[in-house]
């Protein structure tokens, strides 16, 4: 085992702070990187050391400069780099270059990322091990004619997806053949701009599915467990807004089948570290694998509350070479993962729901947070005097509740949201309260169209 002394976090905001906390509890010294625009951001001060990167680069590019980040890590005697989510977290070249430089990448290997990181390849892995996928054509569409052929094979409506996609970008729903070429070209160009790869593929569009995903953890010795599922159906433009666990409307049989399929896919590539297998469940209750995310996810908090397992610490310990069944990681077998109660995460953002969720910026004049029994907050720049810049995503703080019953978890979330008072920038708090009060949410019946179909949430 290689005990890490120093870990660098190649990320910013709330997830950087989340990882620093995990490191500090493990007795590991932390190193932050920050851009010019993040000079005054809170996360910087939560690390033991911090260094500016990306001078002269754009605010986002500052966090994408592989060689500069690795060089800094070497210079500062860093043992390992945690990539968080977004930025370089799914970049196999970054993982490979870290290993080459003798710095441990806290995540799967570059070759695992290569075989799972893109949506087409991960569907191919699923097909190989007999896990159901959404009917489609698992290869990039190269011409307008191919687009027509593929769409006809699937049957309309279809969805075009960027193979390298993330955050809902590069996706287009097409209901009529006459719109196909236009949407195909626009998906391709969006994919090229956002991901540098223009590969787009086609699959059947499912009307109103639920998004169910399974957290997995694997070690370097073949140990592999799942930490149960999350329901992430409450989305806006294919981006998650509220997530919870368990997905209590699933039958026990369905839950077991989805979790078993997640293990099959992870097992097929000897997956190591934390990852998430995402599925859609259609109205008839059939489930289909859509992709695997080889990294920590924003919504990992609900699974931590459910199982009591610190996923970020587990990631670090696994990267140190500890086995799942070691005393330190403490997950000797699947039976030792015991779900308790219910957990809900609300993503509080600096966005204005009444203005099409336009990001708001400026100084936070008043910041009072909710807290108390059963509430966990994972924040970035949530404090009085903080300045919200336009350069990064608008996630301000994640409020996660944990209750003995579903109703208890909802009540705790609502109470905490009600206690929050943020002035100076607009937030989506009132909108989140409407979501949690909605009958469909209470019944656990929201599908991925819930927000788009319910204007009352905006009142
Ligand atoms: P990204 O990587 O951009 O987040 P995903 O493949 O994870 O994209 O899909 C995000 C969301 O898009 C899903 O949760 C779902 O709401 C919607 N989606 C994706 N594929 C389909 C499909 N075939 N039919 C219906 N909705 C889909």
Pocket lining: 295 vs ligand 1, CB cutoff 6 Å: no
Which pLDDT band, with edges at 50, 70 and 90, does 168 fall under? confident
Pocket lining: 448 vs ligand 1, CB cutoff 6 Å: yes
Q: Whose CA is nearest to atom 14 of ligand 1?
A: 211
Which pLDDT band, with edges at 50, 70 and 90, does 35 fall under? very high
Rounded to whole angstroms, how far apart are CA atoms 399 and 433? 12
Q: Tell me what pLDDT residue 166 has.
A: 84
Which pLDDT band, with edges at 50, 70 and 90, does 71 fall under? very high
Ligand 1 centroid to residue 291 C-alpha, Å: 9
Which pLDDT band, with edges at 50, 70 and 90, does 120 fall under? very high
Average pLDDT of span 118-131 = 96
Residues 266-287 pLDDT 10s: 999 999 999 999 999 999 999 9
Q: Which residue has 């599922």 as its token pair?
A: 229
Q: Ligand 1: which atom is nearest the Cα of residue 136?
A: 23
Average pLDDT of span 105-114 = 95
Name which of 78-82, 107-111, 117-121, 453-457 the model is least confident about.
117-121
Is residue 240 flagged as an active site residue?
A: yes
Residue 320 near residue 1, CB atoms below 8 Å: yes
Average pLDDT of span 418-427 = 97
Q: Whose CA is nearest to atom 12 of ligand 1?
A: 238
Q: Whose CA is nearest to atom 2 of ligand 1?
A: 166
Chain-centre distance of CA 425, in angstroms?
A: 25
Average pLDDT of span 396-417 = 98
Any alpha helices (H) in 271-310, and if so which ranges?
300-307
Q: Tell me what pLDDT residue 236 has.
A: 96
Burial 434-457 (b: 16+ CB within 10 A, else e): bbbebeebeebebbbebbeeeeeb
Looking at every residue in the chain, the average pLDDT score rounds to 96
Ligand 1 mutation target, pool 205, 235, 286, 290, most atoms within 8 A of CB = 290
Average pLDDT of span 28-53 = 97
- Would the pLDDT of 170 be above 90? no
430: number of CA atoms within 13 Å, CB side?
A: 12
Chain-centre distance of CA 293, in angstroms?
A: 8
Rounded to whole angstroms, how far apart are CA atoms 326 and 217? 14
Strand pairing category for 49-52 and 29-34: parallel
Residues 338-367 pLDDT 10s: 999 999 999 999 999 999 999 999 999 999
DSSP 39: T
Q: Tell me what pLDDT residue 220 has.
A: 97
- Would the pLDDT of 427 be above 80? yes
Rounded to whole angstroms, how far apart are CA atoms 37 and 13? 12
Which pLDDT band, with edges at 50, 70 and 90, does 459 fall under? confident
Pocket lining: 86 vs ligand 1, CB cutoff 6 Å: no
Q: Which residue has 């010294």 as its token pair?
A: 29
Pocket lining: 22 vs ligand 1, CB cutoff 6 Å: no
Which pLDDT band, with edges at 50, 70 and 90, does 175 fall under? very high
pTM assigned to the model:
0.97
Ligand 1 centroid to residue 167 C-alpha, Å: 9
Q: Ligand 1: which atom is nearest the Cα of residue 290?
A: 6
Pocket lining: 206 vs ligand 1, CB cutoff 6 Å: yes
Q: Tell me what pLDDT residue 249 has.
A: 98
Residue 377 near residue 398, CB atoms below 8 Å: yes
Pocket lining: 166 vs ligand 1, CB cutoff 6 Å: yes
Catalytic one of 121, 123, 188, 240: 240
ipTM above 0.85, yes or no: yes
- Would the pLDDT of 444 be above 90? yes
- Would the pLDDT of 117 be above 80? no
């Amino acid at each position: 085992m290689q005990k890490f002394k120093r870990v660098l976090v190649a990320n910013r905001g709330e997830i950087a702070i989340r990882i620093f906390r995990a490191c500090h509890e493990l007795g590991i010294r932390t190193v932050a990187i920050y851009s010019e625009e993040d000079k005054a951001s809170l996360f910087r001060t939560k690390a033991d050391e911090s260094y500016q990167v990306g001078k002269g680069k754009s605010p986002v590019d500052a966090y994408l400069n592989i060689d500069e980040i690795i060089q800094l890590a070497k210079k500062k005697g860093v043992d390992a780099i945690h990539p968080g989510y977004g930025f370089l977290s799914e970049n196999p070249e970054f993982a490979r270059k870290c290993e080459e430089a003798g710095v441990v990448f806290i995540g799967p290997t570059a070759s695992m990322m290569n075989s799972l990181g893109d949506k087409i390849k991960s569907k191919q892995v699923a097909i190989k091990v007999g896990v159901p996928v959404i009917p489609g054509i698992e290869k990039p569409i190269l011409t307008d004619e191919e687009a027509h052929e593929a769409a006809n094979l699937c049957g309309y409506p279809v969805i075009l997806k960027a193979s390298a996609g993330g955050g809902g970008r590069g996706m287009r729903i097409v209901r009529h053949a006459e719109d196909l070429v236009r949407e195909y070209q626009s998906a391709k160009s969006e994919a090229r701009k956002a991901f540098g790869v223009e590969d787009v593929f086609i699959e059947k569009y499912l009307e109103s599915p639920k998004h169910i995903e399974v957290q997995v953890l694997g070690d370097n010795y073949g140990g592999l467990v799942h930490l149960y599922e999350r329901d992430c159906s409450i989305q806006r433009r294919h981006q998650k807004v509220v997530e919870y666990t368990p997905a209590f409307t699933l039958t026990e049989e369905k839950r077991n089948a989805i979790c078993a399929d997640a293990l099959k896919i992870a097992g097929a590539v000897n997956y190591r570290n934390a990852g998430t297998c995402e599925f859609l469940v259609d109205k008839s209750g059939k489930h289909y694998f859509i992709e695997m995310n080889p990294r920590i996810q924003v919504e990992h908090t609900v699974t931590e509350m459910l199982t009591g397992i610190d996923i970020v610490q587990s990631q670090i310990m696994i990267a140190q070479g500890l086995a799942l069944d070691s005393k330190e990681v403490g997950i000797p077998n699947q039976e030792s993962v015991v779900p308790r109660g219910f957990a809900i995460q609300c993503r509080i953002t600096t966005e204005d729901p009444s203005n099409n969720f336009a990001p708001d910026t400026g100084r936070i004049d008043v910041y009072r947070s909710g807290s108390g029994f059963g509430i966990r907050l994972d924040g970035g720049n949530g404090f009085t005097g903080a300045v919200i810049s336009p350069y990064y995503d608008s996630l301000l703080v994640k409020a996660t509740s944990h209750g003995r019953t579903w109703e208890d978890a909802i009540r705790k979330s609502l109470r905490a949201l009600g206690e929050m008072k943020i002035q100076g920038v607009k937030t989506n708090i009132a909108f989140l309260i409407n979501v949690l009060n909605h009958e469909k949410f209470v019944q656990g019946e929201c599908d991925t169209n819930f927000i788009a179909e319910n204007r009352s949430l905006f009142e």
